[in-house]
Amino acid sequence: MDNKFKNICVMGLGYIGLPTASLLATKGYKVHGVDVTPSVVETINEGKIHIVEPGLDILVKSAVGSGNLKAGLQPEAADVFIIAVPTPFIGDHEPDLTYVKQAAEAISPYLKPGNLVILESTSPVGTTNLLADILAEKGHTPGEDIFIAYCPERVLPGQIIVELVQNDRIVGGINKDSTKTTAEFYNTFVSGKVLETTAKTAEMVKLTENSYRDVNIAFANELSLITDANDINVWDVIRLANRHPRVNILKPGPGVGGHCIAVDPWFIVSQNPELAKIIRTAREVNDSKPEWVMNKVRTYASKFKNPVIGCLGLAFKADVDDLRESPALNIVKQIQQEKLGELVICEPNLKSHDEFELFSLQDTLQKADVILLLVDHKEFSGLTAVMLKEKLVIDTRGIIL
Ligand code: SAJ
Same domain, 188 and 251: no
CB 25 within 8 A of CB 68: yes
Q: What separation in Å is there between the alpha carbon of 110 and the centre of ligand 1?
A: 36
Which residue is catalytic, options 9, 151, 206, 311? 206
Chain mean position to CA 103: 21
In the annotation, is 260 catalytic?
yes
Q: What separation in Å is there between the alpha carbon of 261 and the centre of ligand 1?
A: 6
Domain annotation covers residue 266: yes
What CATH number does the domain containing 57 carry?
A: 3.40.50.720
Domain annotation covers residue 96: yes
| 87 three-class SS | coil
Domain assignment of residue 388, given as a range: 228-395
Same domain, 174 and 52: yes
Same domain, 156 and 233: no
User: What is the DSSP-derived secondary structure letter of residue 8?
Assistant: E
Q: Name the closest-CA residue to atom 37, ligand 1.
A: 260
Q: What separation in Å is there between the alpha carbon of 173 and the centre of ligand 1?
A: 27
How far is residue 30's CA from residue 66's CA, in Å, rounded to a whole number?
10
Helix spans in 66-126 (H): 98-107
- The residue to mutate among 216, 317, 377, 378, having the most atoms of ligand 1 within 8 angstroms of its beta carbon, is 317
Q: What separation in Å is there between the alpha carbon of 84 and the centre of ligand 1?
A: 19
Q: What SS3 string covers 55-66?
A: CHHHHHHHHHHC
Q: Over the chain (401 residues), what is each successive 10-residue block's mean pLDDT?
A: 85 97 97 98 96 92 98 98 95 94 98 98 97 98 97 94 97 98 97 98 98 98 98 97 98 95 96 98 98 98 97 95 94 98 97 96 97 97 94 96 84
Ligand 1 atom with minimal separation from the 250 CA: 8
Same domain, 106 and 243: no
Q: What separation in Å is there between the alpha carbon of 149 and the centre of ligand 1?
A: 25
End residue of a domain, out of 145, 165, 192: 192
Same domain, 368 and 287: yes
Domain annotation covers residue 182: yes
How far is residue 122's CA from residue 23's CA, in Å, rounded to a whole number?
20
Which burial class, exposed, middle or buried, applies to 2 when counting CB atoms under 10 A from its CB (0-12, 13-18, 19+)?
A: exposed
Q: What separation in Å is there between the alpha carbon of 303 and the centre of ligand 1?
A: 35
Q: Name the closest-CA residue to atom 1, ligand 1.
A: 256
Ligand 1 atom with minimal separation from the 318 CA: 11
Same domain, 182 and 85: yes
CB burial readout 341-362, b (16+ within 10 A) else e: bebbbbbbbeeeeeebebbebe
Same domain, 27 and 96: yes
What pLDDT does residue 331 have? 98
What pLDDT does residue 4 have? 86
Same domain, 186 and 261: no
Domain annotation covers residue 206: no
Domain annotation covers residue 211: no
Q: What separation in Å is there between the alpha carbon of 262 and the centre of ligand 1?
A: 9
How far is residue 370's CA from residue 276's CA, in Å, rounded to a whole number?
40
Ligand 1 atom with minimal separation from the 325 CA: 15
How far is residue 357's CA from residue 20's CA, in Å, rounded to a whole number?
34
| 315 three-class SS | coil
What pLDDT does residue 259 have? 86
Ligand 1 atom with minimal separation from the 327 CA: 15
CB 158 within 8 A of CB 258: no
How far is residue 187's CA from residue 193's CA, in Å, rounded to a whole number?
8
CB 308 within 8 A of CB 368: yes
Q: Name every protein residue with a CB atom under 6 angstroms from any ligand 1 atom.
A: 122, 153-157, 209-210, 213, 217, 250-251, 253, 256-258, 260-261, 316-317
Same domain, 28 and 152: yes
Task: Output the CA–CA distances (angstroms, integers) from residue 259 to 18, 180, 245, in the order listed.
Answer: 16, 30, 32
In the annotation, is 9 catalytic?
no
Same domain, 147 and 288: no
Domain annotation covers residue 36: yes
Write out the E strands in 13-61: 30-34
Same domain, 180 and 269: no
Stated length of the chain: 401
Amino acid at 149: A
Q: Which residue pairs, CB below 8 angstroms and at least 24 apart, start in 136-139?
A: 138/105, 138/108
How far is residue 231's CA from residue 235's CA, in Å, rounded to a whole number?
12
Same domain, 169 and 249: no
Domain annotation covers residue 220: no
End residue of a domain, out of 164, 192, 220: 192
Q: Name the closest-CA residue to atom 28, ligand 1.
A: 210
What pLDDT does residue 31 have? 98
Ligand 1 atom with minimal separation from the 206 CA: 40
CB 59 within 8 A of CB 22: yes
What pLDDT does residue 297 have? 98
Domain annotation covers residue 99: yes
Amino acid at 16: I
What pLDDT does residue 2 have? 56
How far is residue 5's CA from residue 50's CA, in Å, rounded to a whole number?
28
CB 116 within 8 A of CB 185: yes
Which residue is catalytic, options 9, 151, 260, 346? 260
Ligand 1 atom with minimal separation from the 255 CA: 7
Domain count, the chain: 2
Task: Output the CA–CA distances (angstroms, integers) from residue 294 to 36, 120, 340, in the order listed.
Answer: 38, 37, 10
